[in-house]
């Protein structure tokens, strides 16, 4: 029996659709892409190794389907934030393990660099971090000084340029708005241009970078700083233009045979995703 397979690019989305997945699907339909809404994290036979697949979904879902779809999943290096020049972070950041962080006896902000199962946040000291029964000691984490961000923006970056953007938080509370409607638009784009001009080579060609206006109460000043970098194929789009966001997502999780030499260094092995 012959199994019909897609003859053009298509977008795979997970069983449970959030609003961002719905927006991606609508944008894909508008440009003529087929949308494959899987009922489980198992790739049907007709899609296995079909040419032209793309994906939006979480790390567990991506890890389950990427190999059968022959996808390359782009992501920033775990230590990217820790390696940035101080002028772009304005805080000390280290990449370490959860086991090492548990020895700390000072307040700190802790988060995982990629997978987000560990609750990111401020911990009074290392004794407040989850134990080995939930997260093994070798779990990689980023540990940083505690910073207050007054306003935060999500930048969808394509080939070293901001391709789509949205505000997502004000004073730590969710408050999405299109970048073009924000008073900080010019400042955000100027900071992003400086950052990407200096550091774009250390990122995949399609990625999400979050930036924010930070307040330093001790010094009484405010400054722009990088919050973090994330995988575009697993990032909420907030109020960014859905069609422009999809451009970034399609590059960030697309056919392995289309990988550029630059992006090969930023590809997660499919069998280890999740």
For position 49, what pLDDT does the model report? 85
Give the number of other Cβ atoms within 10 Å of residue 205's Cβ: 18
HSE value, Cβ hemisphere, 13 Å, CA-based, for 34:
13
With a cut of 80, say whether residue 270 has pLDDT above it: no
For position 159, what pLDDT does the model report? 98
With a cut of 50, say whether residue 8 has pLDDT above it: yes
Nearest to 132 by CA among 96, 109, 95, 101: 101
Percent helix, strand, coil in the chain, to 5, is 30, 30, 40
Distance CA 184, CA 166 (A): 11
Nearest to 196 by CA among 186, 208, 184, 185: 208
Distance CA 44, CA 19 (A): 24
For position 221, what pLDDT does the model report? 84
With a cut of 70, say whether residue 217 has pLDDT above it: no
pLDDT band at 4 (very low <50, low <70, confident <90, very high): very low
Which range (81-85, 132-136, 140-144, 229-233) has the least confidence?
Answer: 132-136
**Tokens read off for 78:** 């775990």
């Amino acid at each position: 029996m012959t199994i019909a397979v897609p003859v053009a690019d298509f977008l795979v989305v997970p069983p449970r659709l959030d609003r961002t997945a719905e927006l991606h699907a609508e944008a894909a339909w508008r440009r003529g892409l087929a949308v494959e809404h899987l009922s489980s994290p198992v790739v049907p036979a007709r899609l296995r190794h079909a040419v032209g697949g793309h994906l939006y979904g979480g790390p567990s879902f991506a890890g389950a389907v990427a190999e059968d779809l022959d996808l390359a999943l782009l992501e920033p290096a775990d230590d990217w934030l820790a390696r940035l020049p101080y002028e772009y972070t304005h805080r000390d950041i280290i990449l370490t393990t959860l086991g090492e962080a548990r020895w700390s006896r000072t307040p700190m902000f802790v988060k995982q660099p990629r997978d987000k199962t560990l609750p990111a946040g401020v911990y009074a000291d290392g004794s407040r971090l989850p134990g080995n029964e939930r997260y093994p000691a070798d779990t990689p984490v980023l540990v940083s000084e505690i910073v207050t961000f007054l306003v935060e923006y999500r930048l969808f970056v394509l080939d070293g340029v901001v391709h789509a953007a949205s505000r997502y938080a004000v004073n730590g509370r969710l408050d999405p708005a299109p970048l073009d409607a924000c008073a900080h638009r010019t400042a955000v784009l100027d900071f992003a241009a400086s950052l990407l001009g200096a550091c774009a080579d250390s990122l995949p060609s399609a990625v999400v970078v979050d930036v924010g206006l930070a307040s330093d109460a001790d010094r009484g000043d405010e400054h722009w700083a990088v919050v973090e970098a994330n995988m575009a194929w697993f990032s909420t789009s907030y109020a960014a233009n859905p069609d422009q966001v999809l451009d970034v997502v399609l590059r960030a999780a697309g056919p392995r045979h289309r990988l550029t030499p630059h992006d090969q260094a930023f590809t997660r092995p499919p069998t280890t995703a999740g």
